[in-house]
Structure 1
Amino acid sequence: MAVINGVNGHAAKLDFTTFYNVINNELSTTARTRHSINPANRQPNPEVPVSTQEDLDKAVDCAREAFKKWSKTSVEERRAAITAFSRAVDDHKDDFAKLLTMEQGKPLAQSYHEIGMATEWLQKIPTMKIPEDILEDTEDRQIIQRYVPLGVACAIVPWNYPILLAVGKIAPAVYTGNAIIVKPSPYTPYCDLKLGELATRFFPPGVVQVLSGDHDLGPMMTSHPGIDKVSFTGSSETGKKVMASCAGTLKRVTLELGGNDPAIICDDVDIDAILPKVHAMCFYCSAQICMMIKRLYVHEKIYDQFREAFVKYTQNLKSGDGNQSDVFFGPVQNAEQFERVKNLFTTIPAEGLKPALGGKIEDSEGYFVTPTVIDNPPEKSRVVTEEPFGPIVPLLKWSDEDDVVARANDSKMGLGSSVWSKDIERANRIAKRLESGSVWVNSHFDVAPCVPFGGHKWSGMGMEWGVTGLKAYCNQQILWLKK
Structure 2
Amino acid sequence: MSSQPKFASADPRLAVLDRQFRLLIDGKMVSSSQTFDVFNPANNAVIAQAPDGTVDQVEQAIQAAKRAFKSWSRLSADERADYVTRYANALEARKEELAALLTLEQGKPFHSMATGEVDASIYWVREVAKRRLEPEVIEDTDEHVVEVHHTPLGVVGAITPWNFPVLLGLWKIAPCLLTGNTMVLKPSPYTPLTSLFFGEIAADIFPAGVLNIVSGGNDIGQYMTTHNDIAKISFTGSTATGQKVMQSGACNLKRITLELGGNDAAVVLPDAEWRSIIPTLFDAAFGNSGQWCIAVKRLYVHSSIHSEFVKAFVEYAQSKRVGDGMDSSTDLGPIQNKMQYNKLLSLFKDTREKGYKFALGGEIDESQAGNFVPVTIVDNPPEDSRIVKEEPFGPILPILSFDDVEDVIQRVNDTSFGLAGSVWGGDRQKAIDVAKRIEAGTVWVNEIHIHGIDIPFGGHKMSGMGVENGHEGLCEFTNSKTYMFRK
Does the aligned pair in 2 maintain the 1:16–1:95 contact within 8 Å?
no
Quote the Cα distance in structure 1 between the aligned partners of 2:375 and 2:19.
33
Which residue does 1:474 correspond to in 2? 478
Is 1:228 aligned to 2:231, yes or no?
yes
TM-score of the superposed pair, with normalisation by structure 1: 0.96
Q: Number of paired residues? A: 471
1:321-372 deviation line (CA, Å, top 9, x unaligned): 0011121111100010000011101111222211000111013110111110
User: Partners in 1 of 2:29 and 2:18 — Cα distance?
Assistant: 14
Cα deviation, residue 79, structure 1: 1.2
2:348 is matched with 345
Equivalent of 1:461, from 456, 460, 465? 465
Instruction: Kindly report which structure 2 residues correspond to 1:376-395, keeping only aligned pairs within 5 A, or say none.
Output: 376-395=380-399
Aligned equivalent of 2:331: 328
* 1:271 CA displacement: 2.6
Match of 2:443 in 1: 439
Matched, 1:199 2:202: yes
Question: How far 1:15 sits from its partner (Å)?
Answer: 7.9
Q: CA 1:16 to 1:482, structure 2 compared with 1: closer, same or farther past 3 Å? A: farther
Counterparts of 1:127 and 1:442, CA distance in 2: 30
Tell me by how many angstroms 1:17 deviates: 2.6
Distance in structure 2 (CA, Å) of the matches to 1:314 and 1:215: 37
Structure 2 equivalent of residue 54 of structure 1: 56
Contact 1:16–1:194 under 8 Å retained in 2? no
1:168-207 aligned at under 5 Å gives the runs 168-207=171-210
Match of 2:23 among 21, 24, 32: 21
SS at match of 2:431: helix
* Structure 2 partner of 1:64: 66
How far has the Cα of 1:415 moved from its partner? 0.2
Distance 1:129 1:414 in 2: 29
Q: Could you tell me which runs of 5 or more consecutive residues in structure 2 were left unpaired when the two chains were aligned.
A: 1-14
Letter in 1 for 2:297: K
User: 2:17–2:101: 8 Å Cα contact kept in structure 1?
Assistant: no
Partner residue of 1:4? none
Distance 2:18 2:383 in 1: 47
Deviation at 1:75, TM superposition (A): 1.1
- Alignment partner of 2:430 out of 401, 426, 444: 426
Q: 2:297 aligns with which of 268, 280, 294?
A: 294
Q: 2:103 aligns with which of 90, 97, 101?
A: 101
Tell me which moved more, 257-266 or 325-334.
325-334
1:3 corresponds in structure 2 to none
Aligned-partner SS, 1:397: strand
8 Å CA contact retained: 1:14, 1:198: no
Whole-Å separation in 2 of the counterparts to 1:451 and 1:86 = 20
The 8 Å contact of residues 335 and 394 in structure 2, kept in 1 or not, is answered as yes
Q: Counterpart in 1 of 2:251?
A: 248
Which residue is equivalent to 1:10?
none
Q: Is the 8 A contact 2:335 2:371 kept in 1?
A: yes
Q: Does residue 367 in structure 1 map to residue 403 in structure 2?
A: no
Does the 8 Å contact 1:104/1:160 carry over to 2?
yes
- Preserved contact between residue 124 and residue 450 of structure 1 (Cα < 8 Å): no
**C-alpha separation in 2, matches of 1:115 and 1:256:** 20
Matched, 1:313 2:316: yes
Give per-residue Cα distances to partners, 1:300-324, cap 9 Å, x unaligned: 1111111011111111101100011
Structure 1 residues 16, 114: CA separation in 2 closer, same or farther (over 3 Å shift)?
farther
Helix, strand or coil at the partner of 1:281: helix
The one-letter code matched in structure 1 to 2:236 is T
Q: Summarize the Cα distance change of 1:16–1:457 in structure 2 as closer, same or farther, 3 Å threshold.
A: farther
Tell me the residue number matched to 1:87. 89
- 2:5 corresponds in structure 1 to none
- 2:19 and 2:217 mapped to 1: Cα distance? 20
Identity of aligned residues (%): 42
**In 2, Cα distance between equivalents of 1:340 and 1:169:** 28
Q: Deviations over 1:357-412 (max 9, x none)?
A: 01110131101111100000000000000000000000000110011011111110
Shift of 1:270: 2.1
Tell whether the 8 Å contact from 2:145 to 2:484 is kept in structure 1 after alignment. Answer: yes
- Tell me which residue corresponds to 2:133: 130
8 Å Cα contact 2:16-2:100 kept in structure 1: no
Q: Is the 8 A contact 1:311 1:356 kept in 2?
A: yes
2:155 counterpart residue number: 152
**CA–CA separation in structure 2 for the residues paired with 1:205 and 1:32:** 24
**Distance in 1 (alpha carbons) for counterparts of 2:58 and 2:282:** 43
Whole-Å Cα distance in 2 between the matches of residues 14 and 351 of structure 1?
Answer: 46
Distance 2:324 2:288 in 1: 13
Cα separation, 1, equivalents of 2:178 and 2:150: 12
Q: CA RMSD in A?
A: 1.2
Aligned counterpart, 1:30: 32
Tell me the secondary structure at the aligned position of residue 270 of structure 2. Answer: coil
Match of 1:283 among 283, 286, 292: 286
Question: Runs in 1 of length 4+ with deviation above 4 angstroms?
Answer: 13-16
Distance, in Å, in 2 between the alignment partners of 1:449 and 1:190 is 26
Alignment check: 8 A CA contact 1:39 1:103 kept:
yes
CA distance in 2, matches of 1:392, 1:24: 44
Contact kept? 1:320, 1:330, Cα under 8 Å: yes
Deviation, 1:132, is: 1.3
Which of 71-80 and 388-397 deviates more? Answer: 71-80
In structure 2, give the amino acid aligned to 1:99: L
SS at match of 1:414: coil
Q: Is the 8 A contact 1:287 1:389 kept in 2?
A: yes
Instruction: Describe the SS at the equivalent of 1:329.
Output: coil
* Cα deviation 1:173-203 (Å, max 9, x = unaligned): 0000000111000000000011111112221
Write the letter of the residue equivalent to 1:213: G
SS in 1 for 2:297: strand
Q: Gaps spanning 5+ residues in structure 1: where?
A: 1-12
> Could you tell me how far 1:272 is from its partner in structure 2?
2.7
**Local SS of the residue matching 2:200:** helix
Shift of 1:57: 1.1
Distance 1:269 1:461 in 2: 33
Equivalent residues of 2:29, 2:203 under 8 A apart: no
Contact 2:268 2:274 in 1 (8 A): no
Q: Helix, strand or coil for the counterpart of 2:252?
A: coil
Q: Is the 8 A contact 1:413 1:459 kept in 2?
A: yes
SS in 1 for 2:71: helix
Q: Is the 8 A contact 1:319 1:327 kept in 2?
A: yes
